[in-house]
Amino acid sequence: MFSLISQPLLSGSAADATALRSEPTSAAISTRIGRGTGAHGMPAGRGWVVRGYRGAMRVATWNVNSVKQRLPRLLPWLDERAPDVVCLQETKLTDDAFDALLAAPLAERGYQVAACGESRWNGVALLSRVGLADVVTGVAGAPGFPHPEARAVAATCGGVRVYSVYVPNGREPDSDHYRYKLAWLEALREVVKGDGDNVLVCGDVNVAPADADVFDPAAYVGHTHVTAPERAAVEALGLRDVVRERWPEERVFTYWDYRAGMFHQDLGMRIDLVLASDAVAGRVAAAWVDRKARKGTGPSDHAPVIVDLDTAPDGDIGPVVPPPSAPRTRRTVKLPQS
């Protein structure tokens, strides 16, 4: 646990990733994401942002709820959405097992990997095609329960300090695990404070920031994920919730219980977040929940969250990338009674 798996990029991928961002030619785009496509695999010639323009980056976070079980979905999803940086949670594999399962297919796609795993529970990983520097696993000062758990990995990717985090569940308010959760978030806050102006904290935070982030707030009274101390601990990180900023009024969830009908009736919660420092939040061109990945056979109970960043202020600004499907406002429904 807490070891780095660093895959060398395939020939051309590391250098080409840098070159593509400084010289976005149509030929280079074809080499990177296939002929006849534009930014992020969208049809060419429709005004999408050029994938290679300097500084642009697509970041995604996804609680896969077992990377081994989700592998048949994960790899096609990487090909379709073409994220530059991916934060995974609940990988549920040791580092050696993660390496054995994913080293080859991820290297083929140009990703470097930093993983922090356990055999049955927890586990996080960072995949990057834009560099993976200064990797740190765990959160300094965070307590264990009772021992350190595989809940965080951070690295500098494309000039941004990126965290993949799986925050403790908390179980029941006022329990030892709940206090562990709050202490863990406090330790994360102290670490993030020292990371400068370009920070992204991505992952399953196990906190719904506001009542709008649960399908029926009354159903959650007295439970974790919605208590005032949890919400205050997330707010105290001092970062901006970029999905909610893009969709301030819409009904947007990221997690739906596996029970029949919960997803189809949109009885969910928004607990998977992308939290950004001001400098990074100012670069957000699009932020959305990939509901398609929650559909079909054998999905995770979480959907990925995807954020597209424009160039840094000294870069060349291109058109904004719209989300393929924007979240829609849906009617409020009550929790089914058993």
What mean pLDDT do residues 273-284 have? 97
What mean pLDDT do residues 116-122 have? 93
Number of domains in the chain: 1
Distance spanning both ends of the chain, measured CA to CA: 40
Which residues touch 142 (CB under 8 Å, ≥6 apart)?
148, 151, 152, 183, 184, 187, 188
pLDDT band at 334 (very low <50, low <70, confident <90, very high): very low
For residue 193, give Cα distances in angstroms to 170, 201, 262, 278: 24, 12, 38, 13
Is 134 one of the annotated binding-site residues? Answer: no
Judge whether 99 counts as a catalytic residue. no
Residue 186 has pLDDT above 80, yes or no: yes
- Sheet bearing 85-89, strands edge to edge: 112-116, 124-128, 85-89, 57-63, 305-309, 284-289
CATH number at residue 138: 3.60.10.10
Residue 327 has pLDDT above 70, yes or no: no
Considering the domain boundaries, does residue 112 fall inside one? yes
Per-residue confidence (pLDDT) for residue 116, from 0 to 100:
97
Is 90 one of the annotated binding-site residues? Answer: yes
Strands (E), 83-192: 85-89, 112-116, 124-128, 133-137, 152-157, 160-166
Considering the domain boundaries, does residue 319 fall inside one? no
Considering the domain boundaries, does residue 7 fall inside one? no
User: Among 9-23, 118-132, 238-252, 273-287, which stretch is predicted with the lowest mean pLDDT?
Assistant: 9-23
Q: Could you tell me where the DSSP H helices lie in 60-133?
A: 67-81, 95-108
Q: Which has more pLDDT, 314 or 133? A: 133
Per-residue confidence (pLDDT) for residue 288, from 0 to 100:
95
Judge whether 166 counts as a catalytic residue. yes
Considering the domain boundaries, does residue 327 fall inside one? no
Length of the chain: 338
Considering the domain boundaries, does residue 317 fall inside one? no
Considering the domain boundaries, does residue 3 fall inside one? no
Q: What is the pLDDT of residues 69-92, one digit of tens each?
A: 999 999 999 999 999 999 999 999
Per-residue confidence (pLDDT) for residue 216, from 0 to 100:
96
Considering the domain boundaries, does residue 286 fall inside one? yes
Residue at 216: amino acid letter: D
Considering the domain boundaries, does residue 27 fall inside one? yes
Is 301 one of the annotated binding-site residues? Answer: yes
Which position among 204, 272, 308, 310 bears the catalytic label?
204
Per-residue confidence (pLDDT) for residue 120, from 0 to 100:
87
Q: Which domain holds residue 110?
A: 13-309
Is 302 one of the annotated binding-site residues? Answer: yes
Structure letter (DSSP) for residue 35: T
Is 204 one of the annotated binding-site residues? Answer: yes
Which position among 266, 302, 308, 310 bears the catalytic label?
302
Judge whether 111 counts as a catalytic residue. no
